[in-house]
Amino acid sequence: MQETDEPPSLALRSAIDGLLEGASLAELKRASARLSAAYRHTGPAMRPVASQADRLAYVAARLPSTFEASRAVLAELRRRAPMLRAESLLELGAGPAPGLWAARPTFPELRRATHVEIDPGMAELGRRLAAAGPAGAGVRQVWCEQDVGRARELGSHDLVLLGYVLGEMSAAAGDPAIDAAWDVTAEALVVIEPGTPAGAARVLRARERLIGRGAHVAAPCPHGGACPLAADDWCHFAVRVSRSSLQRRIKEGRLAYEDEKYAYVALTRAEPDPCAGRVLRRPSAEPRRRRLRLCTVAGVREEVVTRREGARYRAARKIRWGEGWAPAAPKG
């Protein structure tokens, strides 16, 4: 399909609606409920997709959210590594390929994409979605139905993405998969997990392991040192996801949106340009002031920006959870 000026989120929604055309809404609802229950009660250590209805329900209910999280992360990577050129993408545990949809508008130089997805049925849905929208336009794609731990067989790629994968693997398989992914990373490796304590812990483990192998942290951290958060806290962010009318019917939800919470780390071979401070929570709005909780090179700190600070206060009123911020110099 030819490229269009349609926003990526709308193009993806149109492709999903086309894929679901003719599917039984009642069956999709039941499959969506089964998937939600499986994740709640057993966790995502084993992907609970067992039928075509499950696959379609996953695409309808989860793909828009994983796409938006991936897009937010890749946009931040581009800001922090402006010299990065991602002409090739390796998407490990691709599912229906949210990484391709997110990378295509962020890295317009992308020309080659390799998707590793062990489930043939899910890989086929990913191929059909890419063919129905602008994400695959001008990109030579290869789909490999194999385990992500065999990434070294696929050769070097500029950008490697492990999106929502580590939680579907045993702990014993996770570390070798991370090592294999880094070995085929030419420029940048991105790890994304659900924004839960367990998901953030998996991201932190990958971060520490890869720093030990010489990787540089581009985002979200302002530094490559030990995480300064307390043991009962975890680093995560959120992105708002618009729900189509079909999504609302499948999930039996009333709101036209939902918030996808995610944890991530983006690592590069070359020195990046990390932010000076990262906003760790939604800023607190107080009369004539904004309170920001920041991760900085010096650790976690709170900064209060008052109305008397003029332009800085106006910027603080616009800053959002997860964005970079330049902390004020200490007084004294």
Q: What is the mean pLDDT of residues 13-26?
A: 88
CA 61 to chain centre: 16
The tokens for 181 are: 């992914």
- Whether residue 120 has pLDDT greater than 80: yes
Q: At what angle do helices 63-80 and 8-20 cross, to 10 degrees?
A: 160
Gyration radius of the chain over CA positions: 20
Q: How many C-beta neighbours within 10 Å does residue 197 have? A: 12
Work out the pLDDT band at 48, boundaries 50, 70, 90.
low
- For residue 41, what are the contacts with CB-CB under 8 A and spacing of at least 6? none
Strand partners, 83: none
Of residues 249 and 223, the one with the higher pLDDT is 223
pLDDT at site 308: 94
The structure's pTM equals 0.92
- Whether residue 44 has pLDDT greater than 60: no
pLDDT at site 151: 93
Q: Which CATH number applies to 8-268?
A: 3.40.50.150
pLDDT at site 258: 85
- For residue 241, what are the contacts with CB-CB under 8 A and spacing of at least 6? 64, 65, 68, 257, 258, 259, 260
Q: What is the mean pLDDT of residues 52-56?
A: 90
Which tens digits make up the pLDDT trace of 283-314?
998 899 999 999 999 999 999 999 999 999 99
Domain with CATH 3.40.50.150 in the chain: 8-268
Q: What is the mean pLDDT of residues 324-328?
A: 91
Backbone dihedral angles phi then psi of residue 105, each to the nearest 5 degrees:
-75, -25
Rounded to the nearest 10°, the torsion over CA 44, 156, 104, 264 is: 40
Which tens digits make up the pLDDT trace of 162-188?
999 999 888 789 999 999 999 999 999
Work out the pLDDT band at 16, boundaries 50, 70, 90.
very high
- Whether residue 135 has pLDDT greater than 70: yes
Cα distances from 210 to residues 154, 181, 318, in angstroms, run 20, 10, 34
- Rounded distance, CA 58 to CA 44, Å? 13
pLDDT at site 170: 84
Which tens digits make up the pLDDT trace of 93-116?
999 999 999 999 999 999 999 999
Of residues 241 and 219, the one with the higher pLDDT is 219
Q: How many C-beta neighbours within 10 Å does residue 227 have? A: 17
Q: What is the mean pLDDT of residues 77-91?
A: 97
pLDDT at site 47: 55
What percentage of the chain exceeds 70 in pLDDT?
93
Convert 258-294 into a string of H (helix), E (strand) and C (coil): EEEEEEEEEEECCCCCCCCEEECCCCEEECCEEEEEE
